[in-house]
Amino acid sequence: MLIDMHMHEKTHSPDSHMSLTEIIAEARVKGLDAVCITDHDNQNIMEYAHRVSKEVDFPIFVGAEILTKQGDIVVFGLDNLPKEMVNAWELLEMVQKAGGIAFSAHPYRKNNRGLEDLIKTVPGLGAVEGFNGSTPRKLNLLACEGAKQRGIPIVASSDAHLSKRVGLFATEFFGRVRDEKDLIEAIKTHQVRPMQYFEGEYIDAFIDIEEKSKVYIPGRLVGESV
């Protein structure tokens, strides 16, 4: 399954310009199998999103992007979000106790909202958003390197606030994801890999589509042995 792990719907994220209906429409155009709504510091869309998901037969999973004192962390499976800003390790402890999962959002983006090198050491971090659709590639690759050093999964997300950006990056899940519990378990067991949208399909996010010497053909790179 291909799932965009991190985006914002306008009802409960004031900086977003897209409705749930617009998100679903674009996700279907891109070929996504599901989306995650991760509004800022709240999960108020949960009931509505789950109802719409059933009505239109398109999986929608709900988490939240929480701003901690050290930076943004996306969480799933935490019913009681903190009511005030906490330290990253305090939030991660809450998530662990709840049986959820948390990943560092855009850790090296230059907006003072990323965990930066803390991704390598902070206890309880379940994954790293190695590829974020609103972050330069070189900073995304820094995040990937941090995740690799620590041995935790790399996920990919659009971090979309405009519908046309939905699905620029997505995470491939190797099994069926029916709900947030399945999503959490798949990440915990490393059953994921980062993907990017390129010319109408999803390919490995580590392929540098800007590099002119690499011409992509579905399934391989030109010059690779078949």
**pLDDT of the residue at 210:** 80
Contact criterion met (CB below 8 Å) for 119 and 125: yes
The CATH fold assigned to 2-221 is TIM Barrel (3.20.20)
Backbone angles phi, psi at 46, to 5 degrees: -50, -55
Binned at pLDDT 50, 70 and 90, residue 221 comes out as: very low
pLDDT in tens, 139-186: 999 999 999 999 999 999 999 999 999 999 999 999 999 999 999 999
124 has a pLDDT exceeding 60 = yes
225 has a pLDDT exceeding 60 = no
- The SS3 call for residue 170 is strand
* Token pair 């962390």 in the structure block, residue: 73
215 has a pLDDT exceeding 50 = no
* Spatial distance between the Cα atoms of 38 and 73, rounded to a whole number of angstroms: 10
226 has a pLDDT exceeding 70 = no
Mean pLDDT of the chain: 93
Q: How many helices (H) and strands (E) does the chain have?
A: 5, 12
* Spatial distance between the Cα atoms of 137 and 131, rounded to a whole number of angstroms: 8
213 has a pLDDT exceeding 50 = no
**pLDDT of the residue at 42:** 98
- CA angle in degrees (0–180, nearest 5) for 76-31-204: 75
Binned at pLDDT 50, 70 and 90, residue 224 comes out as: very low
Helix (H) or strand (E) holding 98: helix 88-98
3-state secondary structure 35-46: EEEEEECCCCCH
Contact criterion met (CB below 8 Å) for 50 and 178: no
Nearest to 93 by CA among 66, 114, 116: 66
State the average pLDDT over residues 22-37.
Answer: 98
**pLDDT of the residue at 93:** 98
218 has a pLDDT exceeding 90 = no
* Spatial distance between the Cα atoms of 79 and 129, rounded to a whole number of angstroms: 22
- Alpha carbons within 13 angstroms on the beta-carbon side of residue 186 total 23
State the average pLDDT over residues 90-111.
Answer: 97
pTM (global) more than 0.85: yes
